[in-house]
A and B are shown apart, each in its own frame.
Chain A
Amino acid sequence: MSTQIPSASDLAETDFGPPPAKNYLNEETTIRSWLLTTDHKRIGLLYLFTILIFFAIASFAAAMMRLELLTPAGDLVLSQTYNKLFTIHGVLMVWFFLIPSIPTVLGNFLIPLMIGARDLAFPKLNLASWYIFITAGAFTLYAVFAGGVETGWTFYTPLSTKYTNTHVFAMAMGVFISGFSSILTGLNFIVTIHKMRAPGMKWMRLPLFCWSLYATSIIMVLATPVLAVVTMLLAIERLWGVGIFDPALGGDPVLFQHLFWFYSHPAVYIMILPGFGVISELITCFSRKRIFGYEFIAFASMAIAILGFVVWGHHMFLSSQSVYSGMVFSFLSFVIAVPSAIKVFNWTATLYKGSITFETPMLYALGFIGLFTIGGMTGLFVAALATDVHLHDTYFVVAHFHYIMVGGMVLAFMGGLHYWWPKITGRRYPEPLGQLAALVTFIGFNLTFFPQFILGYLGMPRRYHAYPPEWQVWNVLSTAGASILAVGYMMPLGYLIWSLKKGKRAGENPWEATGLEWQTTSPPPKHNFDVTPIVTEEPYAYPLAASDEHLKAEKGRRALEHA
Chain B
Amino acid sequence: MNFPVAMELPLVPDQASSMAGQVDLLFWFLVLLTCGIVAVVFGPMFFFLYKYRKGSPADRTPDTFRTWIPEVIWSGIPLLIAMGIFAWGATVYAHIKTMPDAADALEVNVIGKQWMWNVQHAEGHRELNELHVPVDRTVRLVMTSQDVIHNFGIPAFRLKQDVLPGRYTTQWFKATKLGRYRIFCDQLCGMGHAEMVGWVTVLNPVEYNEWVNVGTEQGTLVARGERLFRALGCSGCHGENSQIRAPSLVGLYGHPVPLDNGEFVTADDRYIHDSILLPQKQIVMSYGPPSVMPSYAGQIGEEEVFQLVQYIKSLGRYTPDEYLRQNEGVGGQTQTHVPTTQNPPPGTSGPTAMPSPAAGPTPQNAPPSPAFSPQPTSY
Interface residues of A (CB under 8 A from B): 1, 5, 7, 9, 72-74, 79-80, 83, 150-152, 154, 156, 158-159, 162-164, 247-248, 250, 253-254, 287-288, 292-293, 296, 317-320, 323, 326-327, 330-331, 334-335, 337-338, 341-342, 344-346, 348-349, 351-358, 366, 369-370, 373-374, 377-378, 380-381, 383-390, 392-394, 454, 457-459, 461-471, 473-474, 544-546, 550-551, 554-555, 558
Given contacts A158-B148, A462-B188, 17 further A-B contacts (CB under 8 A): A83-B190, A158-B147, A159-B189, A247-B167, A253-B164, A319-B162, A320-B169, A335-B82, A344-B41, A346-B71, A348-B48, A353-B63, A373-B42, A377-B30, A468-B182, A471-B10, A545-B62
Query: With contacts A389-B23, A470-B6 known, is A353 near B52, CB below 8 A?
Result: yes
B25-65 contact mask (Cβ, 8 Å, vs A): 1 or 0:
01100100110011001101100110011110011111110
- Among A334, A337, A338, A386, the residue within 8 A (CB) of B96 is A386
State A80–B192 Cα separation when bound (angstroms): 8
CB-CB under 8 A from A353, the residues of chain B are 52, 58-63
Q: Is the CB of B30 within 8 A of A387?
A: yes
CB-CB under 8 A from B353, the residues of chain A are none
Main secondary structure of the interface of B (DSSP, over half): mixed
Q: Is the CB of B160 within 8 A of A318?
A: yes
CB-CB under 8 A from A380, the residues of chain B are 30, 33-34, 82, 85
CB-CB under 8 A from B175, the residues of chain A are none
What are 19 sample pairs from A and B whose C-beta atoms fall under 8 A apart? A79-B193, A159-B190, A293-B70, A334-B83, A338-B82, A341-B78, A342-B74, A345-B41, A348-B48, A351-B45, A351-B52, A352-B48, A380-B34, A393-B153, A458-B12, A459-B182, A469-B379, A473-B9, A551-B64
State A385–B98 Cα separation when bound (angstroms): 14
State A393–B95 Cα separation when bound (angstroms): 21
State A554–B70 Cα separation when bound (angstroms): 20
Q: Is the CB of A338 within 8 A of B23?
A: no
The answer to whether the Cβ of B159 comes within 8 Å of any Cβ in the partner chain is yes
- Among A287, A337, A385, A474, the residue within 8 A (CB) of B89 is A385
State A349–B23 Cα separation when bound (angstroms): 35
- Among B11, B67, B195, the residue within 8 A (CB) of A79 is B195
The answer to whether the Cβ of B306 comes within 8 Å of any Cβ in the partner chain is no
Minimal beta-carbon separation of A533 from chain B (angstroms): 27
State A352–B45 Cα separation when bound (angstroms): 8
State A338–B83 Cα separation when bound (angstroms): 11
Minimal beta-carbon separation of A447 from chain B (angstroms): 15
The answer to whether the Cβ of B185 comes within 8 Å of any Cβ in the partner chain is yes
Q: Is the CB of A351 within 8 A of B70?
A: no
- Among B22, B63, B161, the residue within 8 A (CB) of A546 is B63
Q: Is the CB of A461 within 8 A of B158?
A: no
State A470–B181 Cα separation when bound (angstroms): 13
Q: Is the CB of B90 within 8 A of A327?
A: yes
Task: Pick from B53, B83, B186 the residue with the most CB of A within 10 Å.
Answer: B186
Q: Is the CB of A457 within 8 A of B79?
A: no
The answer to whether the Cβ of B8 comes within 8 Å of any Cβ in the partner chain is yes
Q: Is the CB of B166 within 8 A of A164?
A: no
Q: How large is the interface on B (under 10, 10 to 19, 20 to 34, 35 or more residues)?
A: 35 or more
For B91, the closest partner residue in chain A by CB is A386
Q: Is the CB of B89 within 8 A of A386?
A: yes
Interface residues of B (CB under 8 A from A): 4, 6-13, 22-23, 26-27, 30, 33-34, 37-38, 41-42, 44-45, 48-49, 52-55, 58-64, 67, 70-71, 74-75, 78-79, 82-83, 85-86, 88-98, 114, 147-149, 151, 153, 155-156, 158-162, 164-167, 169, 182, 184-195, 277-278, 281, 297, 378-379
For A352, the closest partner residue in chain B by CB is B48
CB-CB under 8 A from A154, the residues of chain B are 188
CB-CB under 8 A from B22, the residues of chain A are 386
Query: With contacts A83-B191, A331-B86 known, is A386 near B26, CB below 8 A?
Result: yes
Q: Is the CB of B93 within 8 A of A356?
A: no
For A545, the closest partner residue in chain B by CB is B62
CB-CB under 8 A from B195, the residues of chain A are 79, 466
Q: Is the CB of A461 within 8 A of B185?
A: yes
CB-CB under 8 A from B114, the residues of chain A are 163
For B59, the closest partner residue in chain A by CB is A353
9 smallest A-B Cβ distances: which pairs? Answer: A459-B155, A247-B166, A384-B89, A385-B93, A386-B92, A546-B62, A351-B48, A464-B194, A334-B82
Q: Is the CB of B159 within 8 A of A250?
A: no
State A461–B155 Cα separation when bound (angstroms): 10
CB-CB under 8 A from B158, the residues of chain A are 389-390
For B74, the closest partner residue in chain A by CB is A345
State A463–B150 Cα separation when bound (angstroms): 13
Q: Is the CB of B27 within 8 A of A457?
A: yes
For B9, the closest partner residue in chain A by CB is A473
Query: With contacts A152-B188, A158-B147 known, is A356 near B74, CB below 8 A?
Result: no
Q: Is the CB of A454 within 8 A of B11?
A: yes
Q: Is the CB of B186 within 8 A of A393?
A: yes
- Among B52, B86, B151, B187, the residue within 8 A (CB) of A352 is B52
State A461–B147 Cα separation when bound (angstroms): 20
CB-CB under 8 A from B93, the residues of chain A are 317, 323, 326-327, 330, 385-386, 389
Q: Is the CB of B54 within 8 A of A373?
A: no
Q: Is the CB of A458 within 8 A of B89?
A: no
For B6, the closest partner residue in chain A by CB is A470
CB-CB under 8 A from B192, the residues of chain A are 79
- Among B4, B79, B88, B165, the residue within 8 A (CB) of A470 is B4
CB-CB under 8 A from A320, the residues of chain B are 161-162, 164, 167, 169
CB-CB under 8 A from B4, the residues of chain A are 470
Q: Is the CB of B164 within 8 A of A247?
A: yes
CB-CB under 8 A from A247, the residues of chain B are 164-167
Query: With contacts A341-B78, A351-B52, A389-B160 known, is A458 near B41, CB below 8 A?
Result: no
- Among A74, A152, A164, A327, the residue within 8 A (CB) of B194 is A74
Minimal beta-carbon separation of A558 from chain B (angstroms): 7
CB-CB under 8 A from A288, the residues of chain B are 54
CB-CB under 8 A from B147, the residues of chain A are 158, 163
For A249, the closest partner residue in chain B by CB is B278
For A345, the closest partner residue in chain B by CB is B74
State A392–B187 Cα separation when bound (angstroms): 9
Query: With contacts A248-B166, A554-B64 known, is A457 near B13, CB below 8 A?
Result: yes
CB-CB under 8 A from A544, the residues of chain B are 60, 62
Query: With contacts A337-B78, A469-B379 known, is A1 near B61, CB below 8 A?
Result: yes
Q: Is the CB of A466 within 8 A of B379?
A: yes
